[in-house]
Structure 1
Amino acid sequence: MRILICGAGIAGLTLAWHLERAGWEVELVERAPAFRDGGYLIDFYGPGHQVAERMGLRPRLLRDRYPVDELSYVGRDGRQTSHLKLTSALENVFSLLRGDLARAIADGVRAPVTYGTTVDSAEQHADGVTVRLADGTTREVDLLVGADGARSRVRELTFGDVVPRYLGHQVAACIVTDPELSRRVGTRYQMLTEPGLMAGAYALRDDRLALLFLRREPDPALPADPAATLRRHFGGLGWILPTVLERVPGPAGLYYDLVTQVEMERWHSGRTVLLGDACQAVSLFAGHGASMAMAAAWVLADELTTAGDAPGHLPGPHETPGGLAGALARYQARMAPAVAEVQGFGRRSIQWLAPSNRWRVLARDLIFRLAALPGGSRLFVNSFSPGGHNLITSRSEVLESVRQD
């Protein structure tokens, strides 16, 4: 069976990894001109971590992880205002660059990836989907998967204009090389918070420094010059910011985007299905996007590969609940409750991760001080982690609900 996956990020690559091992004919297309390395530091745990272990990636991720041993808030003068030592309560939380996780998955994918193009049009018919790419070529496939992010082209073609929920903030991330600052920050994640502004830094290997910026902004329009915007809003805050902001790379090396969530009632239509941020973006505030993307890819692959009686067999869309329509419905039913829970957690976290006034900044610092007490780190982890990964329903339970519907 032939599948075209639009989007070669974490979700698309994970799906390709599983389907090609089940005997499917897989191809990926990616609008970026090349594989996207780098990105910001993520905390990787939960269901995605379990999927990675099933894929045999744990040794690779252990090698690539960064040993974050402390969360620390600083003032404009660089002095620490509050901190939390990280203990064994976080031993299964892997701090990784998003690009390193994607690369670990990609290295196990044999399917071809065509970079610099995306889906231009898709026409469904009884036996499949005729897909025309932006480079002028066409593909005849049995299933089209849109794993192409929060601004998904496949979603637009299939469902029309779905406007992501803007959470009132803009985010930027980049990596700079500075041996002195890298040693100064070290193996602790340092953050400076002012009302409506947050800047974070963590030392990487090879004298590099990962930077993350978060800014409250009611206007969802992206700035024409993101680097200049960062310097204007963060340059006067002190700490290491005046130095690092002069080294912010150009557009190719600077990630800058809106903080959004994508909420949809339906993730599939006929022989087209959405995956990852295209239908379930949880936002930076939830901090669980990569994990949920891998979990969703695994669930979708599980449903597709068990939809037919023989490996690799994809029944027609009207053969429910055992056919394609049933498989896609169960995929959404298994994942949607978890996604909704994590999205809700993300919205509730905004005022703590990006306080809007000084009283909330002080309250946040107090929570950190309480978390530093004996037993407090585990309470902190439980209170500030989404619980949605516990809601991924088993296939047998969802199969029964689909039959009842």
Structure 2
Amino acid sequence: MRTILISGAGVAGPTLAYWLARAGFQPTVVERSAGQRSSGNPVDVRGPALPVVEQMGIADGLKANATQATALRFVDRNGRLGRRMTMGSDRRNEVEIPRADLARVLFEAARNDGEFRYDDSIAAMTQDAGGVDVTFESGTERRFDLVVGADGLHSNVRRLAFGPETDFVRHLGVYVATTALGEPAGQPHDVLLHNSPGRLVSIHPARGAALVAFIFRHRAVENFDYRDGGQHRRILADAYRNDDGWRVPELVDTARKADDLYFDAVSKVVLPSWSDRRIVLLGDAAASVSLLGDGSSMAIAGAHTLANQLRQADFTVAYRNYEAEHRRRTDPRRRGAGLAAAMLVPKSRAGIVARNAAARLLPAGR
């Protein structure tokens, strides 16, 4: 039985572990965090991810944890609500779910299919013709046949195997912050969106415990550290310093005081190849898809594709076939990131007016 180390226990990692176990492999998942995160905006499970979760037997579990949102409403600076607009023309075959809940359901499905090591990470890797020698930060040393980096935009595996993040990650001019609101949403089925030029604040009802999100345009921050919560809070406060519309000052203050604040740049990963001999990348580590919630669906679909290819062929062929198949899914979505930013965060007041006018063409909510 071949041993495979997966770095990252978010969405892609547990999905891959589940399918690798059924293909006859022995997966080990290592995760730097001590446990599952509680933050993160809702994401959609749709498209090529749907048959995967159905085959895993977790579709009903995802629906049970789905958000209650059915419509969008724009809010002006005085708190006046615009008309309700339904979220998409047909969401019957999609599930919108908080990312933390999605990761938890996937973990529960895969927890008995391999070894999960939390509060640890890969410190060093050396590969040869027969396998990969891995040293963990805990000091443990082990050898694996293959290593998969499913550890996100700031992939440790990518850094160790391919080179520094600056060589492959491109900032798209937008930052995102999310945290729990700490109270139920005032509109239990509506996502509220408030724009000022270059900035968005939203309240999402989630499943009764609302989430607040900030999306704003900003040049790349020099010496940005995705793990520095103090730096994140300063950037956020500065970005919204002159925005006193609606509930913005109050919501920024909530985020600044939050224990669990997710904050990161919207970026894309540009790699000529997703694999290096016995090491391969998956999910955002290989092809980040940001802003509109497609990243999790792509991670689930990509994990299934990779496991299926490894079941059928030697890893060199499997890696090549997996990348060719999955790039056909991710490349069009990555090219649409600029349009997504224009829709969510118009640069000017005129852009906001034009976007809102176009949104009125969406079906009205009930």
TM-score by length of 1: 0.83
1:8-23 correspondence runs (5 A): 8-23=9-24
Mapping 1:175-194, distance limit 5 Å: 175-179=180-184, 182=185, 184-194=186-196
Residue number in structure 1 paired with 2:251? 244
Compare 89-98 and 137-146 and name the one that shifted more: 89-98
Q: Deviations over 1:325-383 (max 9, x none)?
A: 1111000010112211110112222211210111211111111112237xxx9xxxxxx
The residue aligned with 1:121 is 124
1:337-356 to 2 correspondence within 5 Å?
Answer: 337-356=328-347
Over 3 Å counting, the alpha-carbon distance change for 1:278 and 1:249 in structure 2 is same
Specify whether residues 30 and 252 from structure 1 end up closer, same or farther in structure 2 by C-alpha distance, changes over 3 A only. Answer: farther
- Equivalent in the alignment of 1:371: 362
Q: Is residue 231–residue 245 contact of structure 1 (8 Å, CA) maintained in 2?
A: yes
Give the 5 Å matches for 1:290-369: 290-307=296-313, 323-369=314-360
- Per-residue CA distance 1:298-334 (angstroms, 9 max, x = gap): 0000000112xxxxxxxxxxxxxxx221111000010
Q: Is 1:38–1:100's contact at 8 Å kept on the other side of the alignment?
A: no
Contact 1:33 1:116 in 2 (8 A): yes
C-alpha contact (below 8 Å) 1:39/1:97 kept by paired residues: yes
For residues 346 and 229 of structure 1, what CA distance do their matches in structure 2 show?
Answer: 22
1:195 aligns with 2:201: no
- State yes or no: 1:94 paired with 2:99: no
Deviates further, 76-85 or 289-298: 76-85
Correspondences of 1:4-153 after superposition (within 5 Å): 4-86=5-87, 89-109=90-110, 110=112, 111-153=114-156
* One-letter amino acid matched to 1:237: D
The count of corresponding residues between Structure 1 and Structure 2 is 354
Aligned to 2:262: 255
Partners in 2 of 1:176 and 1:198 — Cα distance? 16
Specify which structure has the bigger relative contact order, considering alpha-carbon pairs within 8 angstroms and separated by 6 or more residues: 2
Over 4 Å off, 4+ runs: 249-252
Unaligned runs of 5+ in 1: 308-322, 378-405
Stretches of structure 2 lacking an aligned partner (at least 5 in a row): none
Render the CA deviation track for 1:230-282: whole Å, top value 9, x for unaligned.
Answer: 34433643323333333326574000111101121101111111111111111
1:215-254 → structure 2 map (5 Å cutoff): 215-221=216-222, 222=224, 224-234=230-240, 236-248=243-255, 250=257, 252-254=259-261
Deviations 1:154-188 (A, max 9, x none): 11121112331110011100002224xx2x23211
Instruction: Give the 3-state SS of the residue equivalent to 1:107 in structure 2.
Output: helix
**What is the DSSP-based 3-state SS (H/G/I as helix, E as strand, rest coil) of the residue aligned with 2:244?**
coil
Q: Structure 1 counterpart of 2:187, which letter?
A: V
Which of 267, 271, 276 matches 2:278? 271
Contact 1:188 1:202 in 2 (8 A): yes
* Fraction of identical pairs, as percent: 32
Residue 48 of structure 1 deviates from its aligned partner by: 1.4
Instruction: Please give the root-mean-square deviation of Cα atoms over the aligned residues, in Å.
Output: 1.9
SS in 2 for 1:360: helix
